[in-house]
Structure 1
């Protein structure tokens, strides 16, 4: 069975992290979200993969290439204009062969595990099978109304809680789906949605079934959701190993992974679950607390404390810092005595709506330069390529290329 992974979108609600990368390339447990999807497919012996790419596609293609390093065969289709999920699926029609009776479609921006895929493979039936899962809070998701395994209605983003069974966006289709897509009406938003195609099939009496999974399926709707996803995957992971150097006098508790050529200096105190990448320098007396991931080529200065945070590749954090419940992007240079303040129930305005982050410090994009003694208030966000001079306090969203003096 071939797998088609939809990876063309930007992920606007995950800005500022998606200003320079697609949402599928955001890291969870030191791997892009898309890599978790590909790994789950490979472990189910689904190795013929088509990636539908668009926004920042070069970054995806440069990372995964032909897939050989990930144990799969990857081909790419460019969706030049993002006109919805049905339109994206239609792009792969010419890459299907006659003996491809069924194929799987997945979103590249949901973290899943191998068993999630196995649940669908073992029980798929009919013209369409939808993988569903139960969720307490359904806001922002499409829900499924079903009688047993038979799906009777798909409702996108309902205003009332008609069902707690949500559509994961993972499907198995037969090739008849391509003809059905041709008759999909365009939505008021100017898109062709695969859920509309499937609803038409249901209305026409075709067989559309569901498989409910209890296995891992998590979504990062907003940038701060990455922290919860990261913690979940770290707690479930078995991929912990120490390849670098841990000096005498450093203390390590719990599940901690330390990459090759990384040095943990004496006096450090690290509590898992924590992952530290390759070629990192963790100076003496650094404290790293649970649910933290540190990427490759990162240096952290003495007397800095980090907890429940994501630090991306090629970032330098000087001494005496305090970072909690925060996401720090690529290529950041952060001066000494930096504080990312955190608190609970942070109100954040985005797209003229107020959203609540349960607990959040700060979020920075890529290529940020921060001087010494800078305070970032809870919920503040710094976009790509900003510079903040020493002694400043940031308490709001800074747009790209900002300079705070």
Structure 2
């Protein structure tokens, strides 16, 4: 069985992190989201993968190459214009045999568990099968209306609660879908949506079936949603300390993975689940609390505390800092006494639209330099290539290339 993974989009709602990488390459538990998807397919013995790429495609291709390291055979097709899911799927037509087997379609920016893919394959029937899951809050999702196992309609982002069954965007499709995609009308947003193609099938009397799953499916719509996904995936970690060096007096509790050539210095206190990558220097006297991911080539100086956060690669954090519920991009340098405020139930403005966040400290884009004694108000974002001078209190979002004097 072949799988098409849609990985061409930018993910604008995850800015500033997606200014320099596509959403599928955002790390969770020190691996890109897309890598988790490919691993889940490989565990189901689905190894023949077509990646539809576009925005920042070189970064994706450099990481995954031909897929051998990930137990897969990967081919790439570029979607030159990102004009919808149906259009993206159509790009793979030349690699799918017209009379061949059904194939999977997945979103590369949604984390889908091994068991969820298995549920879809096992329950598949009819002319197309849609993987669905139940959610209490369906705001912002497409939901499905069903009669028994048969889907009658897919409603995008309904204003009222019409169903608690969410369309995960994961499908098992027959090659006949390509002809139907070519008949799919363009939306008011100028896109070709696969849900409209499925509705054509339903209206034509074809069987579009739902496959329900209770297994892992996570849609990280916004950057702060990565902080919800991170502890879930860290929960699957196995303790691995033998690769790193623990000095006498360092305390490690719970499931903690420490990478090659990483030193945990005396007086450090680390509680899992947590992961620390390769070539890191932690401490002395640093506290790392649960649900924290620290990538490669990171140094964290003494008397700093980090909890429930994602620290990307090549980051330097100086002494006496406190970082909570935050995401720090790559190649960021942070001075001493850096403090992130944290609050719950925030409304965050992105591109002139308000979005809800359950809890957030800050999100900092790549290549940013922050001086000493800086305080960041909860929910405030600092974009890429910014410079924040010492002694600042950041209470408003900083745009790309900003300087806070």
TM-score, length-normalised on structure 1?
0.98
Matched with 1:404 is: 404
Between the aligned partners of 2:5 and 2:339, the Cα distance in structure 1 is: 39
| Conservation of the 8 A alpha-carbon contact between 1:274 and 1:293 | yes
Q: Structure 1, residues 290-310: CA drift from partner, whole Å, max 9, x if none?
A: 100000000000000000000
| Conservation of the 8 A alpha-carbon contact between 2:4 and 2:49 | yes
Matched with 1:384 is: 384
Residue range with higher mean Cα deviation, 248-257 or 342-351 = 342-351
Q: Does the residue aligned with 1:249 lie in a helix, a strand or coil?
A: coil
Q: Structure 1, residues 332-372: CA drift from partner, whole Å, max 9, x if none?
A: 01111111111112221123332221111011000001111
Q: Does the residue aligned with 2:202 lie in a helix, a strand or coil?
A: helix
Between the aligned partners of 2:143 and 2:371, the Cα distance in structure 1 is: 47
Q: Does the residue aligned with 1:224 lie in a helix, a strand or coil?
A: helix
Between the aligned partners of 1:254 and 1:240, the Cα distance in structure 2 is: 7
Between the aligned partners of 2:80 and 2:286, the Cα distance in structure 1 is: 46
Between the aligned partners of 2:98 and 2:189, the Cα distance in structure 1 is: 34
Matched with 2:202 is: 202
Structure 2 gaps, min length 5: none
Matched with 2:68 is: 68
Q: Does the residue aligned with 1:398 lie in a helix, a strand or coil?
A: coil
Between the aligned partners of 2:209 and 2:134, the Cα distance in structure 1 is: 16
Matched with 2:39 is: 39
Between the aligned partners of 1:263 and 1:62, the Cα distance in structure 2 is: 28
Between the aligned partners of 1:341 and 1:109, the Cα distance in structure 2 is: 28
Alignment of 1:214-363 (within 5 A): 214-235=214-235, 237-242=236-241, 243-363=243-363
Matched with 1:213 is: 213
Alignment of 1:137-156 (within 5 A): 137-156=137-156
The structure-2 alpha-carbon separation of the partners of 1:196 and 1:325, relative to structure 1 and needing over 3 Å to count, comes to: same
Residue range with higher mean Cα deviation, 392-401 or 32-41 = 392-401
| Conservation of the 8 A alpha-carbon contact between 2:237 and 2:257 | no
| Conservation of the 8 A alpha-carbon contact between 1:2 and 1:100 | no
| Conservation of the 8 A alpha-carbon contact between 2:133 and 2:212 | yes
Between the aligned partners of 2:294 and 2:336, the Cα distance in structure 1 is: 18
Matched with 1:11 is: 11
Deviation at 1:98, TM superposition (A): 4.8
Between the aligned partners of 1:137 and 1:75, the Cα distance in structure 2 is: 36
Between the aligned partners of 1:70 and 1:29, the Cα distance in structure 2 is: 16
Between the aligned partners of 2:80 and 2:63, the Cα distance in structure 1 is: 20
Aligned residues: 404
Q: Structure 1, residues 29-78: CA drift from partner, whole Å, max 9, x if none?
A: 11100000000000111000000000111111111111011110100000
Matched with 2:109 is: 109
Between the aligned partners of 2:355 and 2:96, the Cα distance in structure 1 is: 42
Between the aligned partners of 1:227 and 1:100, the Cα distance in structure 2 is: 40
Deviation at 1:100, TM superposition (A): 2.7
Deviation at 1:234, TM superposition (A): 1.4
Q: Structure 1, residues 277-324: CA drift from partner, whole Å, max 9, x if none?
A: 111000200000010000000000000000000000010101111000
| Conservation of the 8 A alpha-carbon contact between 1:52 and 1:77 | yes
1:368 and 2:368 are equivalent in the alignment: yes
Matched with 2:118 is: 118
Residue range with higher mean Cα deviation, 45-54 or 390-399 = 390-399
Residue range with higher mean Cα deviation, 63-72 or 348-357 = 348-357
Deviation at 1:99, TM superposition (A): 5.6
1:95 and 2:95 are equivalent in the alignment: yes
| Conservation of the 8 A alpha-carbon contact between 2:239 and 2:254 | no
Between the aligned partners of 2:382 and 2:314, the Cα distance in structure 1 is: 17
1:26 and 2:21 are equivalent in the alignment: no
Between the aligned partners of 1:240 and 1:222, the Cα distance in structure 2 is: 29
1:59 and 2:56 are equivalent in the alignment: no
Q: Structure 1, residues 79-138: CA drift from partner, whole Å, max 9, x if none?
A: 000010000000000011356321000000111221111111111111100000001100
Q: Does the residue aligned with 1:367 lie in a helix, a strand or coil?
A: coil
TM-score, length-normalised on structure 2?
0.98
Between the aligned partners of 1:175 and 1:202, the Cα distance in structure 2 is: 16
Q: Structure 1, residues 125-184: CA drift from partner, whole Å, max 9, x if none?
A: 111000000011001100001111111111111111000001000000010000000000
| Conservation of the 8 A alpha-carbon contact between 1:49 and 1:73 | yes
Residue range with higher mean Cα deviation, 346-355 or 74-83 = 346-355
